[in-house]
Amino acid sequence: MNSFIAKDKEYVAGTYGRFPLELTEGKGCIVKDINGKEYIDMGSGIGVTAFGYADEEWTKAVTAQACRLQHTSNLYYTEPCALLAEALCQKTGMKKVFFSNSGAEANECAIKVARKYSAQKKGDEFYTIITLKNSFHGRTLTTLSATGQDVFHKLFNPLTPGFAHVAANDTQELINAVEALKPAGIMLEMVQGEGGVIPLDKEFVITAQRLATENDIPLIIDEVQTGNGRTGSLYAYMQFGITPDIVSTAKGLGGGLPISATMMSEKVQYVLGPSDHGSTYGGNPVCCAGALSVISRLDEAFLKDVRSKSEYVFASLADADGVESVSGMGLMIGIKTKGNAKEIVNKCMENGVLCLTAKDKVRLLPPLNIPMPALEKAVNVIKTVCKEIM
Ligand SMILES: *Cc1c(COP(=O)(O)O)cnc(C)c1O
């Protein structure tokens, strides 16, 4: 196969800092480049391919659906969409699901639900969504406004008004914001992913839930990255002892196809009515069939296995040379290294292991079903490189 880097550079918008790596095929946690070199994938396409590449069960579900009915629009009913919504509700206790195609869109829907709920209940002036500094909620103009990182805002002003950012884990600042603003919602990531793989303090999350309940403010949990088994529970909020009003999720949900979900609790289940929201592709049967195969396999035994792999990674890296600290939950892991994270990731790639970065950390989001021998091999490469580059 001829290299396609030059063509991509010429014709694809230059928004991505790509690695000089041309991927052609994969199986499980292994992906091959154009020269046939194999890599252990510790990034899963940014937490998307939850069961690795060309997973047998997933591929079967997706191809069977693609061969039967690939799209209908939301003017008609299709079975995969209904079954997936049922599975999500039964596993979370949520009551309704809206399907879209990306994390940003799932958050847009969550914001619309919170705003409409609060406008109807309290008045139009209750429109502000409180989010956190250092958060990440997406790239559309509204989710960019929700994102509490100024680096993403520059030159795209004016952003959507009605967002306020408070410091993560600063309970007093959150209390003050709830009192001073007229909030329509509070939106949190349980682990700030793009922000550096930093879990929130449990006490802060519980306070947020209490404030939300006392003041009748919908609590939105952004589980785009943390959801669908990634942190060792079906959704990360389940480990914080809270019951959100709205949960958005995407990335791992489709196992590699673009699908996102906004789940609504009893309190907000009837907020969206006819023509309040929509998406041409939303609930696409092929994507739903893939997601259904992912969700149906995330049972307690599987999640326990994710947690034990997580313990292994944390234990092996915690005291390793060149590693300052390890953060995260489940198989969503950030490594604060002594050496430069980007250099370390490049060197790992040379040595056959693909990793990600988040801020100044090395970030790992391996396939949830990565076999132990491959995980051990990858962790050893990472350890060796962290020791070399420091
Ligand atoms: C990736 C991510 C998003 C955006 O998802 P897209 O599918 O890229 O739109 C939103 N929120 C969080 C927490 C994410 O990690």
Q: Is the CB of 115 under 6 A from ligand 1?
A: no
Tokens 């989001």 — which residue? 365
Instruction: Report the pLDDT averaged over residues 228-236.
Output: 98
Instruction: Report the pLDDT averaged over residues 167-185.
Output: 98
- pLDDT of 261 higher than 90: yes
Instruction: Report the pLDDT averaged over residues 104-131.
Output: 98
Rg (alpha carbons) of the chain, rounded to whole number? 21
Q: Is the CB of 188 under 6 A from ligand 1?
A: no
Average pLDDT for the chain: 98
pLDDT of residue 157: 93
Asked if the 5-54+300-388 domain carries CATH number 3.20.20.70, the reply is no
**Band (372; pLDDT cuts 50, 70, 90):** very high
CA of 255 to the centre of ligand 1 (A): 15
Task: Report CA-CA distances (Å) from 346 to 12, 66, 161, 231.
Answer: 23, 37, 39, 26
Helix ranges (DSSP H) in 215-284 = none
Q: If you take atom 11 of ligand 1, which residue's CA is the nearest one?
A: 137
> Do 366 and 48 touch, CB atoms closer than 8 A?
no
Please report, for the chain, the start and end positions of each structural domain, with discontinuous segments joined by +.
5-54+300-388, 69-295
Substitution candidate for ligand 1 out of 109, 111, 136, 257 with most atoms within 8 A of CB = 136
Q: Is the CB of 111 under 6 A from ligand 1?
A: no
CA neighbor of 331 nearest in space, from 232, 215, 186, 202: 232
**Band (49; pLDDT cuts 50, 70, 90):** very high
Q: Which atom of ligand 1 is nearest to the CA of 251?
A: 7
pLDDT of residue 1: 86
Q: Which atom of ligand 1 is nearest to the CA of 105?
A: 9
Asked if the 69-295 domain carries CATH number 3.40.640.10, the reply is yes
The pTM (predicted TM-score) of the whole model is 0.98
- 158 cis-preceded (ω within 30 degrees of 0): yes
How far is 141 from 130, CA to CA, in rounded Å? 16
**Band (20; pLDDT cuts 50, 70, 90):** very high
How far is 252 from 49, CA to CA, in rounded Å? 6
Instruction: Report the pLDDT averaged over residues 30-47.
Output: 98
pLDDT of residue 210: 98
The model's pLDDT over 286-342, given as tens digits with 9 standing for 90+, comes to 999 999 999 999 999 999 999 999 999 999 999 999 999 999 999 999 999 999 999
CA of 139 to the centre of ligand 1 (A): 8
**Band (114; pLDDT cuts 50, 70, 90):** very high
CA of 317 to the centre of ligand 1 (A): 27
Instruction: Report the pLDDT averaged over residues 365-370.
Output: 98
Q: Is the CB of 99 under 6 A from ligand 1?
A: no
Burial of 205 from C-beta contacts in 10 A (0-12 / 13-18 / 19+): buried
The model's pLDDT over 334-346, given as tens digits with 9 standing for 90+, comes to 999 999 999 999 9
Q: Is the CB of 363 under 6 A from ligand 1?
A: no
CA of 107 to the centre of ligand 1 (A): 8
pLDDT of residue 273: 97
